[in-house]
Chain A
């Protein structure tokens, strides 16, 4: 069973630029969630994708957007980068079905460390 992978590991951008982060979900999982973890803080939910559609969103502006592909991998895009966007971005995959209810565990990737200068 392959775990959640993320790329790149580290990234440095400047203010105003755009960035794309990538996530491959664990084998057998159909749902991907993205979290932002600022230094010294717990992860904060950005959004979740299920069946290629956004399935819930946290308190993040529209310049944070995402995609999910038919193979369940996902991208997180951030436009007009700000200094406060510097953080560790975590992707988590899970297996979710409405009939079963949302009881499946989210498994996390290693994260992408984004630095905005």
Chain B
């Protein structure tokens, strides 16, 4: 069974500090991984996906198949980055094609 684990429920950093939100997964096939973000009173929205290998709002995430991880990183956190972050894995086959499995989420707070 596929699983996504975000070990930190809460993460606090100061503005300008580096931030890393951890995500580990288990999946028997070739994973497709995402980071979604939910700002206060807004809907869940896509932040980035591993196949795009892009940087969004200064965030990057590298898929490490050896360590089964997809950690989200930003070198200099900003106050506006404060939000709930979810790591998600998409099923690529079987009866759950397209299913997203989410982690529990990490609340990031960036202090001024």
CB pair B97 A55 closer than 8 Å = yes
Return the chain A residue nearest B9 by Cβ.
Answer: A40
Q: Indicate whether A111 sits within 8 Å of B43 (C-beta atoms), given known contacts A43-B100, A44-B102.
A: yes
CB pair B98 A31 closer than 8 Å = yes
Interface flag for A62 (CB, 8 Å):
no
CB pair A33 B99 closer than 8 Å = yes
Return the chain B residue nearest A105 by Cβ.
Answer: B46
A22 CA to B33 CA, complexed, in Å: 28
> What 0/1 pattern do residues 60 to 80 of A give for CB contact below 8 A with B?
000000000000000000000
Q: Which residues of B lie under 8 Å from residue A102 when comparing CB positions? A: 32, 90-92, 97-98
Total CB contacts across the A-B interface at under 8 A: 69
Q: Tell me the smallest distance from the CB of A33 to a CB of chain B, in Å.
A: 7
Interface flag for B45 (CB, 8 Å):
yes
CB pair A45 B44 closer than 8 Å = no
> What 0/1 pattern do residues 15 to 28 of B give for CB contact below 8 A with A?
00000000000000
Residues of B58-112 at the interface with A, using a CB-CB cut-off of 8 Å, are: 86, 88, 90-92, 95-105
Interface flag for A2 (CB, 8 Å):
no
Q: Which residues of B lie under 8 Å from residue A111 when comparing CB positions? A: 43
Q: Which residues of B lie under 8 Å from residue A58 when comparing CB positions? A: 96, 99
A5 CA to B36 CA, complexed, in Å: 18
Return the chain A residue nearest B4 by Cβ.
Answer: A42
Q: Which residues of B lie under 8 Å from residue A56 when comparing CB positions? A: 91, 95-99
Q: List 5 A-B contacts (CB under 8 A).
A: A35-B100, A48-B97, A56-B95, A56-B98, A111-B43
Chain A residues at the B interface, C-beta cutoff of 8 Å: 31, 33, 35, 40-45, 48, 50, 55-58, 90, 92, 94, 96, 101-103, 105-111
